[in-house]
Amino acid sequence: MGDVMKKVPVREQDPKVRATNFEEVCLGYNAEEAMEEASRCINCKNAKCIQGCPVAIDIPAFIKEVKEGDFEGAYKTIGLSSALPAICGRVCPQESQCEGKCIRGIKGEPISIGKLERFVADYALEHDIKPEGAKEHNGHKVAIIGSGPAGLTCAGDLAKLGYDVTVFEALHELGGVLVYGIPEFRLPKQKVVAKEIEKVKELGVKFETNVVIGKSTTIDQLIEEEGFEAVFIGSGAGLPKFMGIPGENANGVFSANEYLTRSNLMKAFDENYDTPIAAGKKVAVVGGGNVAMDAARTALRLGAEVHIVYRRSEEELPARVEEVHHAKEEGIIFDLLTNPVEILQEDGWVTGIKCVKMELGEPDASGRRRPVPVEGSEFTMDVDTVIMSLGTSPNPLISSTTEGLEVNKWKCIVADEEFGKTSKEGVYAGGDAVTGAATVILAMGAGKAGAKGIHEYLKDK
């Protein structure tokens, strides 16, 4: 028995080895380790961890089942609240959600809730435990736009209630950011994502890929011509931002979305696939979020020396602590309080970036201290590749082609939080399409809310 104040450590690939491959970094718990970690839970009556979970999984209940070795029971308990536990256990920022509220965390380390959820979900995938579907179908047709976490969750919940659900996806693979955005080394595509989606299919949900809503057909046409009675929009926030500085169109400058799509969705890192990627020898990734970490660690695995260039200090990095830690272990160099002002080029190719040093001034509206340029501190960083990871916003394709759908000034769809109801009758929305870029679990929460809203709307029809 280890120290009860500390988490049972999780096995990981050695940083030196993993920096050269795309295999999953974190290897997860085995049954013995999971049961030992579960036994650290004190099973609070008024469990704060549940409040920290955006979909309110009954955490003490499933952990108790893990402790007793009833892994199938634990999977069913999680299944009451979450459709994608193998994914959320891996990518949720638990430190600011469930684990951030854990009582154990006050004096020691919180329970490793994410790793336990992951263990239970992986166990279910390995042992092919089926989710429970609806006993009878109610015949109502619902369309879901987008097969990311919000859409998948909404589809799963509605199918469980007996609805006839079809999910429309613009890309050729299902999963949204789970397949094009989050890299293989954090979230295996075949082993985890494809199998979780298979479970949604087992509930009777139909999927149609290569359908771009707003182009291949519109929401109004789905309702008027194809007989869908309600629609849930979970189209995400996939439109990349650029800085607008000189030289940004030079060869070797990519949006993180492009770089990650090439590597993750198109498998450009694997030479058996046809899509090329410009690996780069020395890469600067501009930004400090999870996407920046993913892009940086991908470039590193393709053989580059990689720098994270971020205008604030380490404390403000929006990326998960675990990801920053992993990135550092693998040898990513952090150039903090640094902001690019120009991309330098020769004959159309990137040769470097002109940067300026920053210092932190007064807090801004978001409460974070505003970075201010230090006069006369310009310097040049020699790089051959620049990846812009400055955030994304919703693609206006759907909102601009749907009559009567209200959007706010950031082009986000306006929808209420409890039911995902939009300004248009029968149309619901949730996830990044409503909030702007956020987390997988918040999108899932919004998918659940949308399913609830659609059920309220259709159940008496």
Partner 1 sequence: MYKILKAEELADKIFLMDVEAPRVARHCEPGQFVIVKMDEKGERIPLTICDYDREKGTITIVFQIVGASTEKMADLKEGDYFRDFTGPLGCASEFVHEDIETLKNKKMLFVAGGVGAAPVYPQVKWLHEHGIDADVIVGSKTKDLLILEDEMKAVAGNLYVCTDDGSYGHSGMVTSMVEKLVKEEGKKYDVCVAIGPMIMMKFTCLMTKELGIPTIVSMNPIMVDGTGMCGACRLHVGDEIKFACVDGPEFDGHLVNFDEAMKRQMMYKTQEGRAMLKLQEGNTHHGGCGNCGGDN
DSSP code at position 8 = P
Of 119, 111, 118, which Cα lies nearest the Cα of 31?
A: 119
Distance CA 84, CA 66 (A): 18
Q: Where are the alpha helices (DSSP H) in 181-230?
A: 195-202, 219-224
Pairing label, strands 427-429, 282-286: unpaired
Residue of 20, 249, 408, 423 interacting with partner 1 (CB under 8 A): 249
Nearer to partner 1, 8 or 150 (CB): 150
User: At its nearest, how many Å lie between partner 1 and the CB of residue 127?
Assistant: 28
| 227 touches partner 1 by CB under 8 A | no
**Piece of 61-69, 156-164, 265-273, 317-325 that binds partner 1 (CB under 8 A):** 265-273
DSSP string, 35-98: HHHHTT----TT-HHHHHSTT---HHHHHHHHHTT-HHHHHHHHHTT-S-HHHHHHHS-GGGTH
Q: Tokens for 454?
A: 């659609």
Mark 381-400 with x for binding to partner 1 (rule: CB under 8 A) and - for no binding: --------------x-x---
User: At its nearest, how many Å lie between partner 1 and the CB of residue 290?
Assistant: 17
**Piece of 35-43, 67-75, 205-213, 312-320 that binds partner 1 (CB under 8 A):** 205-213
Distance CA 144, CA 427 (A): 10
User: At its nearest, how many Å lie between partner 1 and the CB of residue 230?
Assistant: 21
Nearer to partner 1, 173 or 323 (CB): 173
Of 385, 459, 386, 384, which Cα lies nearest the Cα of 419?
A: 459
| 245 touches partner 1 by CB under 8 A | no
| 21 touches partner 1 by CB under 8 A | no
Q: Where are the alpha helices (DSSP H) in 246-301?
A: 256-260, 290-301
| 231 touches partner 1 by CB under 8 A | no
Mark 31-60 with x for binding to partner 1 (rule: CB under 8 A) and - for no binding: ------------------------------
Q: Tokens for 161?
A: 């209630």
**Piece of 41-49, 64-72, 109-117, 267-275 that binds partner 1 (CB under 8 A):** 267-275
Residue ranges that bind partner 1, judged by CB under 8 A:
170-172, 209-212, 215-217, 238-240, 242, 244, 248-249, 251-252, 254-255, 257-258, 261-262, 266-267, 272-276, 278, 347-348, 395, 397
